[in-house]
Structure 1
Amino acid sequence: MVKHIFKQTLLLIITLVISLHALAEEEAREAVAYASSTSIKVNETFFVTVVVNDRVRKNDLDITPLANGFVVGSVNAQSSYSNINGVSNNETRFTIPLMVQNKSVTEIPALKVDGLQTQAIPLDVIADNESVDRLAQDVLFDSSLSTNSLYPQQSATYTMQVMVATQVSDITIEAPYGEGLIVEQLGEDRQYRAVIGGRQFVVLERKYTITAESEQQGSQTTLYSGRFKGAVASNDRRGFPTGLGIPVARTGDNYPIDVRAIPSDYQGLWLPTPSLTLSEQWSTTEQEVTVGDAITREITLAITDRDASQFPTIDIAYPASVSVYDERPVFDEQDGKTVMTLKQVLIPRQAGDITLPGMKVNWWDSENHTQRTATLPAKTIHAAANANSAQSNGTEPLPALPMQTEVVEVKDAGYWPLLTSLFALLWVLTLGMWWKSVRLQRAVVGNNTNHTAPRPDNSLATAIASDDPIKVQKAWRNSPAHIQAHTKSALDSYLASVYGNKGNRQQALSALLATNNSVPTPNNPAPSALASITPE
């Protein structure tokens, strides 16, 4: 009975999954139509293309709506298949030669193909003796501005699109400009295809950030449009290329911009934006930690219409009982916002209750014209003493490194991967030479009958070899006091290279390894407990 119910349930689930998959595929299918030109002379031949993102038959296309007002030529159908990264795509393309019979035709009607339907395409039909400005139809320009009201140091996004339906060469794009405005290109150019007004175009899209200077507050200025220039290939009367280029230039609208004054009652760093969010993540949710344990705090600040160079510096005053190591902030673009991520490693150095400060960012809501404050709460933890730590043996705690904040944008790594590989190779050679020396020391100890000093702590050497700063610190805290005292300075330098971006990490790691290998014999070693037993 149970097996029967299980089989029925499994069959129902499989049927549901197949049905949903088929429904998704059905919803994804579409038919798109576009014309080679939408300004047509009577008795002039042009082409309509119908594209279906599925494999269909030639007879599936119904062209009977074209019988009224058009002379229809022979339909050509081509199917193609592609598989990119495991995603398969089918496409069927129909090409239909058409000729308009009279001026009363105003559109190409919608066509049906295998249960799908295209959109109608409006036409501008002119008499045979009238001229058509093909160039005006083949190169279009459009622009937009995200807002025409700015505060000083606030940015808006200007988007310009050049739509081309013919071959264009010698392309140049001039940026917009305006008095009291700072204009900078935003990101890389985008290029894609789109059907616009019943025709297929290649769209070139470029964006700029427009920032109002502080001196412009309380005034008005004008953003003058960007400009596109190029040369369109020309053909003779028979349609053959002449090798000559016809100059073409396009420009868009100019935009008046109102630059508002900074409110007199605003407090804090001036930061105007329509949207700002501040959040954080901790590596642990526990309220109790051990002295010397590392805690990671990751702070994320996202601001709309603001470049990375315009972000505020995050500077949190931590108590002296905590060592702080700042990683370099990383910037990224997400959903139209610039996002800064700052990672901090916090290490308690004293036992007791420690309050890790919160932070706040004052900003001006440019849409609602009011001051707001984004905050992160303070966090209180209890640091328990570590019995094996250097403090228990009277050793001074590791000093906190000064915080450093450096703006880093995600870019091409350049030659750094090559240098990193070179340092890694040198590190492997150093580790090999160290291992060879350790084996030689073991051989000498095995053949020597005299009492020899103990070698440096193997667990610390192993941690150093892993190049994991957390493991290195834990192994160091569990090492004997004389090893901690001898390697403390080298450990400081290594941690500074990892968390504070001071010095070369591989060199600091090699120096720490060499220092650990050179630990001297402790003075007055404690006698063995068995040595005091004398048989009677």
Structure 2
Amino acid sequence: MFRVTLLLIATMLLLLANTAVADSELTATVDRNTIGVDETLNLRLRYSGKESGGQPDFELLEQDFDILSRQQSNQYRVINGRAESYVEWMLTLAPKREGRLFVPSLHLHGQVSDAIPITVTEAGSAPDSEDRKAFLEVELDKEQLYVQEQLLVKVRLYTVIGLHDISTEPLQIPGAHIEKVDEQRYERRINGVGHAVYELTYAIFPESSGKLRIPALTYVAVAGRRDPFSLFNRNTQRLRLRSEAKEIEVLPKPDSYSGEHWLPAASLGIVQSWSQDPDSFKVGEPITRIITIRAEGLRAAQLPPLPRINVEGLKTYPDQPQQDDQAGANGISGSRIETTAIVATRAGEYQLPPITLSWWDTKAGRQRVTQLPAFRFTVSGAPGAAGSSGSSPSTLPAPATGGQLSGDAFWRNLALAAVASHLLWIFYFWWFRRHMVTPGRVKSKKLTPDARSQAEQLLAAAESGDPARVQERLKHWLQARWPDLSGKSFQEARGILGFDELDKLHALLDNALYAQPPRPLNRQQVGILVRRLLKQERKEVNGDHAGALPGLFT
């Protein structure tokens, strides 16, 4: 009897232990076992047990998968009068490579889940690839290129479902300069089905020859409609899309190329402009020469400096060159602007040498030469430049002695007095002109705070190179600086003011805004004209020229 009692107690303890074990477990399941490398799967991990807190070590998953999202929920329910509770984790996983991978065994509170095999195929080769709702496409604009030549890479995301929160990893290629130059959204029909397209364009400049590999890019997006009242947004799905890697051959510089600088470009031009009419050159007066090099398919940093002007009789003062890159759907267009002030030391005929640049035409596949022709101009003598420069030492009077000294001193003092009197009259006349207002003159006024503010905004507009902005700021500055020209047309205002700088600015802005085709605005030349215009003072104004200037540029 005692033995039977012991056996019953042991059996009950064993059953209780088994029940405790059965009540505590960790299970893992996935929604599918075969996916493409550009697709995702959902892992559901459930723990039911009496111990609370903590979570499995998910770092083991990150050996073969990227964890795109992770959600945790606590559940409690009663079934047939029996209560049960459990903790559940829902993870969205994206494979890091193709092949046979495993969701590893995970551990929590002494419980272990089973490992799950996952088969990862090539992108687009999964059984449901034809029914994919979103995919990536990569397109290169050429099959091969030369070193330092521009390569355009377009990455397109196609989708027939609503995607939001799209994030992309940056394109990185060792040994190449990369810039994102364009971003577009449009629609394209494929096999009769409309697809929304999100397109990014990159400009790539390889720095060495050989094979250039464009790595696979990964896009992460959320599909479905976000529910603001759902804590975990169960109506959405996180997608990870992966593009195909590409390779392209990069050729070295051709042996036949004879240029001093290697410049592979789609087009290259050189333009020259002047701060004023070159026919007005005078001895001792500076004039500014502006040369702009512009190349399509080259960055500004690749454009070479121009040779210094070395002409006898001319002094040059070069300014710091300006470099600018403009990005667009066709890639990058770089420009280099060199500004040089030139001062002639003597009158005569001068010739600036031609400027020649050799470059490689990437469209035609051959070497070309672009040349700015030699420039001839005449420098006239400045007024009074050829006049007497004072008596030479050989003609100076010899010192007098004796009684002659007193006579010379008398006439010298008389001459000094005459000169001083003459200077006093000049000073008085100048003071009278500045401080007395006559009917035909306008008294010079100090700049108002509004005029100073408008001048600063006009300078900023000139530096921006936007012709519409320059025109608008010029109008406001004129109104603030001289508010007594109300009701006058622009032609009348130009005639009244008589400023050459205003006429030249008007011509440049007209060409940039209304010419067909529009001419690009030279920021250097506009900046010089604006700075000179801000220093101008109006001298002659008719008495009825008063008021604001609302009619300008209308």
TM-score normalised to structure 2 length: 0.42
Higher Rg: 2
